[in-house]
Amino acid sequence: MSDFEQHELGFPGAQRPNLKLRRGIYLLPSSMTVANMLCGFYAVMATLKGGSTDLDNAAKALGLAILFDSLDGFVARATGTSSEFGKQFDSLADMVSFGIAPAALAFTWGVRGIAETEFMDIRRLHQIGWWVALTFVICCAWRLARFNIQGMAPGSGSKYFVGLPCPAAAGLIAATVHAIKLPIEDWRWSIFWMLVVIGDATLMSSTLRYRSFKDIPMARRQKSIFVIIIGLLVWLIVAYSEVVLMIIATVFVASGLTLHVIRTVRHYMVSHPAKT
């Protein structure tokens, strides 16, 4: 029975739902979200083709999806056009671009090639790879739902995420495929790849803190050196995208684990001071 029906029947404590919904959407951030979803959908379709070039194009599309996902949040905050609708719409787009698309890409690039082997034990790894991809999708959905309810890390304002952000998890998969390009055909490397994907998924659903960079005042004046650094980074990504994107993705994913170890050691040293 809905809240509206309970109110009409006079149930105690029942509240009449708010039937007045705000019409319309903010065009600029929503267009960024649509572009994000379009890139994710293209990545899925390119992955279905399965060729090396197609898989590389899918990885590039995921990179663009990450860019658009960053822009829609920045534009919404900068223009004051954040809304609950935009938040939910962005989550659904992220589920496509950073959940389903990278899982399909990880499976096709890293596991599907071993299905043609004549050894039955190795062919079973192909079935395990299907479950690994599903685990990634579930962890992505878990991460998005938790973020919508809990938000950023408690006590950090907008400085830290709880768990590896879904775009970063998808970025690690996309950067690896873009860097290596040729699909995996050796079952031993397939096992290693599945472990990487499982670790990626686990970090999404973990409680490790990851820097969000939302606290950086991009709208304020900055030193000229920052513009030079950003320009240099863009040039490096364009000129040496395979190496640079792989380094960026790996360093960011490892940063949460590194900060967690540092905090643990520091807490231990404070609680157990050295005796002189």
Domain chopping of the chain, boundaries: 25-271
The better pLDDT of the pair 113, 100 is held by 100
25-271 falls under which CATH superfamily? CDP-alcohol phosphotransferase transmembrane (TM) domain (1.20.120.1760)
With a cut of 70, say whether residue 124 has pLDDT above it.
Answer: yes
Give the model's pLDDT for residue 6. 47
**Number of other CB atoms surrounding residue 188 within 10 Å:** 11
Most confident of 51-60, 109-118, 149-158, 180-189: 51-60
Per-residue pLDDT band for 69 (boundaries 50, 70, 90) equals very high
Q: Mean pLDDT over residues 54-67, rounded?
A: 96
With a cut of 80, say whether residue 98 has pLDDT above it.
Answer: yes
Per-residue pLDDT band for 240 (boundaries 50, 70, 90) equals very high
Question: By mean pLDDT, which of 114-123, 144-153, 185-194, 233-242 is the weakest?
Answer: 114-123
Per-residue pLDDT band for 152 (boundaries 50, 70, 90) equals confident
Return the H-helix or E-strand segment holding 210: strand 209-211
236: Cβ contacts below 8 Å, ≥ 6 apart: 244
192-209 in b/e form (b: 16+ CB < 10 A) is ebbebbeebbbbbbbebb
In Å, the largest CA–CA distance within the chain is 74
Per-residue pLDDT band for 8 (boundaries 50, 70, 90) equals very low
